[in-house]
Structure 1
Amino acid sequence: MRTHLCGIRTAWTESLVAEVAVGEIAGAMAGADVAQLVVFFSPDFDPEALSAALQARFPAAAIAGCSMSGGIAPSGGLDHGLVAIAFPRQRFRIVSTVLDAIDHLDVERTATAVRALRRTLDPQGHDPAPERPPAGYRFALSLIDGLANAEETVVSAISWALDGIPLVGGSAGDDLNFRDAVVLHGGRTHRKAAVLILVETDYPVEIFKSDNFEPTGTKFVVTASDGEKRIVHELNAEPAAREYAMAVGLDPERLSPMSFAAYPLAVKVGGEYFCRSIRRMNADGSLSFFCAIDEGVVLTLAEPRDIVASTRAELARLDALVGGVDLIIGFECVLRRLDAESRQVRQGISDLYRRYNVVGFETFGEQYRAMHLNQTFTGIAIGRMAADTPPGP
């Protein structure tokens, strides 16, 4: 357990019995005035039992969370267990909501719900009062069912309605089982749903994204796909798995998550490349992706850069921006973890996360502003020193 200078407490456990795990977390939080508890949990737990245990132990706190494909804690990566972040009432103002049926999202209704939530931070409906921090001290966290295939629509609708409040988040996973992703909110478990948390704080914050790949000259045109199901049947008018495997020099029959982590694909948007990671190879030779892929899209084969060096540079940049990082809430693609393991550099990443107090979970996708991403590390850095008076314009 750690108590951070900003007052947030973080705790983690590898216990897989709900009552025991929650008891350990509650013990670590003893004496804290918890306004909002955010938890990330492995699919080993029964989510209903976990939710009930959390409600019993933290009756005065709002609780939100999601299932994960691995946890991130200052002690290192957690393959299984429970990670908890407790926001205090002092210097933090937090509101949240759940968005259901995201696989059939009503964009207008979602935007209306997000605007209403945003207004609860400013009940009068105007700009922050003088005693409150400026908009730069606000951020939004999204936790989205990563098996609902809806992140692009959800993130677009949320970002539109947030009116400039920066958004980061992660897609709930279940290791690499692809069977059941769950979000928690208000004492209930939800599937095909998303949780949105808005935070206003007196501490400086900075959202970020970091990746470790660069494009090559190898291109693929998506010539047959099912965008709704995120399945690509053909690349360059050839069976997708075979065309991809031939380009990277692998046996099509032996493609695995490790292969997809080592040889990512990217799409160019607005002059910048973003990963579009492969989830799995299907029996018919098609490829399922973690993002929507439409016909006609040009995918570029990317090659990894030094993941430790790129992550170190990004964390150092954040440290300077916020006047010293106190805590980072991070969302990291599970494929980044696999890539780091295959290159035997996971310990180097863990050392950096320990140094900068990174806590979070490994995802089926990451959100950054209005984008849904893959094979990326996104998050929010919180500085050590509160602003006693709001900075000038």
Structure 2
Amino acid sequence: MGQAARAITHKCGVRSAWTTLPDPQAAASALAEAIGSMALAQLVVFFSPTYPADDLARALAARFPGAPLAACSSAGEISPDGGLDRGLVAIAFPQKGFRIVSTLVRDLSAFDAEQTAASVSALRCRLAGEQAAEGGRFALTLIDGLADAEEQVVSAIDRALAGVPLVGGSAGDDLSFRRTALIYDGEVATDAAIVMICDTDFPVETFKTDNFEPTEVKFVVTASDDGARTVRELNAEPAAAEYAMAVGLDPRNLTPMSFASHPLVVRVGGEYFCRSIRRLNADGSLSFFCAIDRGLVLTLARPKDIVEVTRAELERLEASLGGVDLIIGFDCVLRRLDAEIRQKRRTISSLYRQYGVIGFETYGEQYRSMHLNQTFTGVAIGFAESAP
């Protein structure tokens, strides 16, 4: 049946609400009741693909008339009470202490980098006169996770942000890879991205963390369909067979769990970033969550303890900000699968509750100019020295 909405009011004034009611109208009504009457600078919602996007868009527009809305489907929702089983989570930013502007970038399949950069630059200029003396700025992106355009989009947006730190996530659909959806001010959009820029009176810090380290095993991409993010050959051998041999598995038995346990990474500027495999194809090729070009050198990685690595990053944020009020987090769905394999999901969920993480499980994560996989990114909001 699901539960009526629960809510938390954070010290910065942000109100987080969540529900697992299955009917879109009932769920939207429950969220509205839980959030209550407040002047909204922005409402951000992450929702299970079990909710029809068109129905949910109408329901949210009816229950939050006139409120700026940005939403996306997910591969799992993260509430302050832990992960949800097919639900909705909402982040209600009040006008007091937060100034937020946003835009919708359409037609990613025919992406125009210059037009997008100009649009984001204009967006940033709308906040030009609003300098937060004791706070900070950050940008959030929600991107269609099946448009295969994140690298281009994030690069153009980051360039136009002129130093404003960016984090975000790629919309998911519970690993079915059929259709993801965004909702922007009542409109359902695919092949699109939402960009939000926030100026706040509270201290903020963006972050990223992962739990893998490189091994000595290398693969060279020797044949690929670059536009489709599909690798046909690794080391001049069929891709799935070569990868499976390296990790000690039968190529016929490769699953998302296999890919989560044995990630591939690429070295950029002296640092390693994950390039996760999305699926095994019938012809023995491998499709990825990120762009993969011929000639790229991939390194097999081994996981580190996901709990200890994540705890260390959250403790660092707490020390840096002098306390964490809440965290808006974008967590790769493959991290969840890896945590389940290693029986660490309950501990990770407890850690997220401790630090007030709210967000969703993604098909990819954005951090500044990079599109990443198998990573936890986000923005932590701290405590102001005096209330605004």
TM-score in terms of structure 2 length:
0.97
- Give, in whole Å, the separation in 2 of the partners of 1:23 and 1:101: 32
Seen in structure 2, the aligned counterparts of structure 1 residues 111 and 386 have a Cα distance that, compared at 3 Å, is farther
Aligned partners of 1:34 and 1:60 also within 8 Å: no
Partner residue in 2 for 1:94: 100
Deviation at 1:78, TM superposition (A): 1.4
Partner residue in 1 for 2:89: 83
70-79 vs 173-182, greater mean Cα deviation: 70-79
- Give, in whole Å, the separation in 2 of the partners of 1:345 and 1:6: 31
Structure 1 unaligned spans of 5+: none
Seen in structure 2, the aligned counterparts of structure 1 residues 18 and 352 have a Cα distance that, compared at 3 Å, is same
Partner residue in 1 for 2:49: 43
Aligned partners of 1:204 and 1:387 also within 8 Å: no
* 1:288 corresponds to 2:294: no
- Give, in whole Å, the separation in 2 of the partners of 1:235 and 1:113: 39
Q: What is the letter of the counterpart of residue 126 of structure 2?
A: T
Aligned partners of 1:102 and 1:148 also within 8 Å: yes
Seen in structure 2, the aligned counterparts of structure 1 residues 244 and 57 have a Cα distance that, compared at 3 Å, is same
Partner residue in 2 for 1:299: 298
Partner residue in 2 for 1:326: 325
* 1:133 corresponds to 2:133: yes
Q: Secondary structure at the match of 1:139?
A: strand
Query: CA offsets per residue over residues 176-227 of structure 1, 9 Å max, x none?
Result: 0000011111210100000000100000000000100000000000000011
Q: Secondary structure at the match of 2:227?
A: coil
- Give, in whole Å, the separation in 2 of the partners of 1:38 and 1:285: 39
* 1:364 corresponds to 2:370: no
Q: What is the letter of the counterpart of residue 276 of structure 1?
A: R
Deviation at 1:387, TM superposition (A): 5.8
Q: Secondary structure at the match of 2:59?
A: helix
Aligned partners of 1:203 and 1:387 also within 8 Å: no
Percent identity over the alignment? 63
Deviation at 1:133, TM superposition (A): 3.1
Q: What is the letter of the counterpart of residue 187 of structure 2?
A: R
Aligned-residue CA RMSD (Å): 1.2
Q: Secondary structure at the match of 2:191?
A: coil
Q: What is the letter of the counterpart of residue 88 of structure 1?
A: P
Aligned partners of 1:204 and 1:386 also within 8 Å: no
Q: What is the letter of the counterpart of residue 19 of structure 2?
A: T
- Give, in whole Å, the separation in 2 of the partners of 1:221 and 1:324: 44
Deviation at 1:14, TM superposition (A): 1.2
Deviation at 1:388, TM superposition (A): 6.8
- Give, in whole Å, the separation in 2 of the partners of 1:297 and 1:149: 18
Q: What is the letter of the counterpart of residue 309 of structure 1?
A: E
* 1:13 corresponds to 2:19: yes
- Give, in whole Å, the separation in 2 of the partners of 1:373 and 1:227: 17
Q: Which of 111, 116, 119 matches 1:113? A: 119
* 1:31 corresponds to 2:37: yes
Aligned partners of 1:217 and 1:300 also within 8 Å: yes
Aligned partners of 1:330 and 1:379 also within 8 Å: yes
Q: Secondary structure at the match of 2:228?
A: coil
346-355 vs 75-84, greater mean Cα deviation: 75-84
Partner residue in 1 for 2:312: 313
State the aligned residue count: 382
Partner residue in 2 for 1:239: 238
- Give, in whole Å, the separation in 2 of the partners of 1:248 and 1:121: 50
Q: Secondary structure at the match of 1:228?
A: helix
Partner residue in 1 for 2:372: 373
Deviation at 1:322, TM superposition (A): 1.0
- Give, in whole Å, the separation in 2 of the partners of 1:238 and 1:344: 34
- Give, in whole Å, the separation in 2 of the partners of 1:133 and 1:64: 27
Aligned partners of 1:145 and 1:191 also within 8 Å: yes
- Give, in whole Å, the separation in 1 of the partners of 2:84 and 2:251: 31
Q: What is the letter of the counterpart of residue 208 of structure 1?
A: F
Deviation at 1:386, TM superposition (A): 5.0
* 1:72 corresponds to 2:71: no
Aligned partners of 1:68 and 1:363 also within 8 Å: yes
Q: Secondary structure at the match of 1:242?
A: helix
Q: What is the letter of the counterpart of residue 341 of structure 1?
A: E
Q: How does 1:335-374 map to 2 (within 5 A)?
A: 335-374=334-373
Aligned partners of 1:6 and 1:386 also within 8 Å: no
Q: What is the letter of the counterpart of residue 186 of structure 2?
A: G
Q: What is the letter of the counterpart of residue 337 of structure 1?
A: R
Partner residue in 2 for 1:254: 253
- Give, in whole Å, the separation in 2 of the partners of 1:260 and 1:348: 22
- Give, in whole Å, the separation in 2 of the partners of 1:378 and 1:228: 26
208-217 vs 114-123, greater mean Cα deviation: 114-123
Query: CA offsets per residue over residues 46-92 of structure 1, 9 Å max, x none?
Result: 10110111011111310011000000112111131101000000010
Q: Secondary structure at the match of 1:158?
A: helix
- Give, in whole Å, the separation in 2 of the partners of 1:215 and 1:160: 29
- Give, in whole Å, the separation in 2 of the partners of 1:133 and 1:79: 40
- Give, in whole Å, the separation in 2 of the partners of 1:346 and 1:386: 35
